[in-house]
Amino acid sequence: MGQTLTEKIFSEHAGREVKAGEIVRVPIDMVIGNDITTPISIKAFESSGASKLANPDGFAIVMDHYIPAKDIASANQAKISRDFALKHDLKYFFDEKDMGIEHALLPEKGLVVPGDVIIGADSHTCTHGALGAFSTGMGSTDISFAIITGGNWFKVPETIKVELVGKPSPHIYGKDIILELIRILGVDGALYKALEFTGEAIKYLSMDDRFSICNMAIEAGAKNGIIAVDEITREYLDERVRVNGTLRANPKIFYADSDATYCQSITIDVSKLSPVIAYPFLPSNGKPIEQAVEDKIKIDQVMIGSCTNGRLEDLRIAADIVKGKRVARHTRMIVTPATQRIFMQAEKEGLIDTLIEAGAVVSNPTCGACLGGYMGILGDAEKCVSTTNRNFVGRMGARTSEIYLANSAVAAMSAISGYITDPRDKE
């Protein structure tokens, strides 16, 4: 009987054929930590009596949540990871000198590749499934076990097949596709399942779109999201070689069998989608943009950034919309490029100037605003259109604030008008 893409990856790592439901222990190709979660892993590592990492080149720490430090507590938290990285001469330690949001930075560096098993102490580690890898979030003690032993235990997930058909209309992006899927499934409809994205529409999706889609698989409860390698993926990987000199390892490319067993199949005709807005207070509370426009929702802040939509394509989309215009008087616009390289390329293309001239403030790469940490906290009853991934109560600040999740075009148009606005009105 055939296998899904996720089953293929686990089989290769286990050294035998495995099926959904089996519990297996497999080697980990890349473990990812950040400045918030890694100190807990370090404490567990040191308490265990371990003295060295099982696979030093398969462990990356990315300082991205509160960097530069926002206060004494976050500075001391960061110091734990810095000291550990220096003690173990960690090759892949990314701090202020080469900073970025982890789930944008590691693909950019060529450190996560097709066929990998990847874990991170951050729920949005599922982002890397866009490269045809199995990638999932785990707890900090699970991370510690992995860096001590080089592997970990998994229950091989069942797979939901998501077939994307049709061709996206202008201003329909990966964000709209995943918000529509989460609307269909709910926040727990894919609990501990793999979401395997297939179909003719995949060829119309850029890598930035694909990262956005897999990033939010967790918002439907999924264990991982995954998209098979195609020519667009190969071009992206080839560019990593050109920019970085090489990839971390030779990719192992797998494809699902035609007779693979899926626990559920869902078809989405992307040609029929309008931009999707996730109303408070769940990512599954998706509404078409037409309803949001009719509801005349006044916006206090717009946030463009995060590991979901802080990539170069997002900055290009936003800059094109705001060029020659000004952010509404009652609205703030915050733009956070996901990595320094994205920031520099945006500068070269004149995007940063365009955004600032329109009235936006552009910050260093950070997760700060997304998680309600700093660099964009919402006050009482304030409303925000955000390209981030969560809109739970109090996610970005005050518990009475409201977050409306949207694509970068909607966010930029809403910043200019001061109300949630359909970007297709610009056409």
pLDDT tens-digit series, residues 132-173: 999 999 999 999 999 999 999 999 999 999 999 999 999 999
Label residue 125 exposed, middle or buried (CB < 10 Å: 0-12, 13-18, 19+): buried
Alpha-carbon distance 81 to 66, whole Å? Answer: 13
Q: For residue 175, which phi and psi values (nearest 5 degrees)? A: -60, -40
* 56-83 pLDDT per residue, tens: 999 999 999 999 999 999 999 999 999 9
Mapping DSSP onto H, E and C, the string for 60-102 reads EEECCCCCCCCCHHHHHHHHHHHHHHHHCCCCEEECHHHCECH
| Cβ-based burial of 259 (10 A; exposed 0-12, middle 13-18, buried ≥19) | exposed
Of 235, 71, 46, 211, give the one whose Cα is nearest residue 135: 211
Can you read off the two tokens belonging to residue 42? 């370090």
What would you measure as the largest C-alpha separation in the chain, in angstroms? 62
For domain 5-268, the CATH class is: alpha beta
Q: What is the pLDDT of residues 362-406, one digit of tens each?
A: 999 999 989 999 999 999 999 999 999 999 999 999 999 999 999
With pLDDT > 90 as the criterion, what percentage of the chain qualifies? 94
Inform me whether the pLDDT recorded for 427 exceeds 60.
Answer: no
- C-beta of residue 305 within 8 angstroms of C-beta of residue 387: yes
Residue 245 predicted with pLDDT over 80 = no
What integer best gives the mean pLDDT of the chain?
95
247 — pLDDT class (breaks 50, 70, 90): confident
CATH of span 278-426:
3.30.499.10
Angle 312-322/340-348 helices, nearest 10 degrees? 40
Instruction: Answer yes or no: are the C-beta atoms of 334 and 305 closer than 8 Å.
Output: yes
State the helix-helix crossing angle for 102-109 and 207-215, rounded to 10 degrees. 140
Q: What pLDDT was estimated at residue 250?
A: 75
Query: Three-state SS for 104?
Result: helix
Q: pLDDT at position 239, please?
A: 86
Q: Which helix (H) or strand (E) holds 354?
A: helix 351-357
Determine the average pLDDT of the residues in 48-54: 92
DSSP 107: H
* Residue 426 binned pLDDT confidence (cut-offs 50, 70, 90): low
260 DSSP assignment: B
Q: Tokens 């109090």, residue? A: 394
The residues of the chain that CATH labels 3.30.499.10 are: 5-268, 278-426
340-370 pLDDT, tens digit per residue, is 999 999 999 999 999 999 999 999 999 998 9
Residue 65's Cβ-side half-sphere holds a number of Cα atoms within 13 Å equal to: 20
